[in-house]
Structure 1
């Protein structure tokens, strides 16, 4: 297993894919942090409450929910890239059983997912600091920033592992790029609109994209409202929550840990599916 893990590290760091996908994560993170806090001036209640809006928390959530697609693609190419380069045969021949390859990739790419998550949180936070003139109050306190940032890193990690399972299941470098993009930004968007206002609208938070977004946003939005409203939080209109969730992801009243457990389930299903198909697939 140690040899397989070392081999996976070499495969990652001797190619440019890992940093090519990391660049948009960094750029999106910094941009979301900068713009998210810069727009704080449009909210009149800043003056009414005499409080500093912790927009940095929302900026981290926003950047995470956009950046996770790159973590998924990074993980998906773990197997799909080898099928494209036709190195999968050698990989399988040097590993017995094949499941050892999957475990090695999961371990190594989990580390990559953590790197993506840390880069996202740090650059989103840096952008937020610069956007507010280095006002740390825009993070609602160190504990709030740490919890939202930790959730962001965990979200990136899980999206990466889901990608590994998805890539093992599909094993086509074109489809593993196209299908996630189409699903996350088209199919699930249509599904969410279709479910709204129906008898089964409660299923919305359990869709894969919504669950993945909710890991961070269902934590960041309540922390944001709590920091702004203070003792008046119980009287905060539901519309305020829903408006924030509309822009920053997540679902009103749905706990972040429920989103985490849901997405863990999706990750386990794709990894199990990748293992089942991968150990039975013929390779040339």
Structure 2
């Protein structure tokens, strides 16, 4: 099992894609942190309850949002990595070699799961390096406490888990949609466009706003990191509820994908 995990990590970290994405995540985290830090501190009077859907939150939530701002880019890139981790194997016909090296398919797929969690943690650290370093400076320049609570450490740790779970969601999508290009377009399209629009539309329906929106992947992600809310009145899960919800998405999609792969014929 250890050898299979090492092999999966080597497949990823010996390509040029990994450091290209690392640069993108670092820069994205830094830029988003600077923007969020400036935007959320431009009117401190609005922290405790802005009207008309304006972002609201206390000092801890503002700091959380600043330091995890890069997740909005990070989880899309990790979703992409998850799809490519299996999609490229089928596209380039290397899946046969993978299963010959590790004949027990379930073990081979579990090695991919562990590798994706490690990759998610690595990119999470890269994202936090950019967002925390820049965000803390901007908050300090705006005379706002950059670390108002020790709970922020928990949020930073959970953000590493978030990226790993999104990578597993991508793995499941990549298996369930055999065409790699289609899997990427559908996965990113749903996460980036369809789900946010669905959340907005459901927000106009009281029952949907209180019982449906909070269980969507992006909303669960925001709950995990205890980010500021948009002031629309939509219910939000506790951090542990968000973690369980996002984990459920990852387990179901990756689990179904692994089950299918373990029984499918490989050309």
TM-score above 0.5, yes or no: yes
Offset at 1:252? 4.1
Q: Compared with structure 1, are the counterparts of its residues 273 and 57 closer, same or farther at alpha carbon in structure 2 (3 Å cutoff)?
A: same
2:50 is aligned to none
Q: Does 1:204 align with 2:187?
A: no
Offset at 1:69? 0.9
1:215 is aligned to 224
What CA distance in whole angstroms lies between the structure 2 residues aligned with 1:153 and 1:86?
31
Q: Compared with structure 1, are the counterparts of its residues 120 and 95 closer, same or farther at alpha carbon in structure 2 (3 Å cutoff)?
A: same
State the SS of the aligned residue for 1:140. coil
| TM-score normalised by the chain length of structure 2 | 0.84
What CA distance in whole angstroms lies between the structure 1 residues aligned with 2:243 and 2:216?
12
Q: Compared with structure 1, are the counterparts of its residues 70 and 192 closer, same or farther at alpha carbon in structure 2 (3 Å cutoff)?
A: same
| TM-score normalised by the chain length of structure 1 | 0.80
What CA distance in whole angstroms lies between the structure 2 residues aligned with 1:263 and 1:95?
29
2:21 is aligned to 21
1:235 is aligned to none
What CA distance in whole angstroms lies between the structure 2 residues aligned with 1:104 and 1:261?
22
C-alpha distance after superposition, 1:66-125 (max 9, x if no partner): 321111111221111111222111111222221111011111221111011111122111
How many residue pairs were aligned?
A: 253
What CA distance in whole angstroms lies between the structure 2 residues aligned with 1:31 and 1:65?
12
What CA distance in whole angstroms lies between the structure 2 residues aligned with 1:189 and 1:41?
25
Q: Does 1:152 align with 2:159?
A: yes
Q: Compared with structure 1, are the counterparts of its residues 281 and 127 closer, same or farther at alpha carbon in structure 2 (3 Å cutoff)?
A: same
Greater helix proportion: 1
Q: Compared with structure 1, are the counterparts of its residues 103 and 256 closer, same or farther at alpha carbon in structure 2 (3 Å cutoff)?
A: same
What CA distance in whole angstroms lies between the structure 1 residues aligned with 2:208 and 2:32?
33
What CA distance in whole angstroms lies between the structure 2 residues aligned with 1:18 and 1:182?
22
Q: Compared with structure 1, are the counterparts of its residues 103 and 24 closer, same or farther at alpha carbon in structure 2 (3 Å cutoff)?
A: same
State the SS of the aligned residue for 2:108. helix
C-alpha distance after superposition, 1:197-218 (max 9, x if no partner): 32333211112232233221xx
1:59 is aligned to 66
Unaligned runs of 5+ in 1: 47-51, 222-240
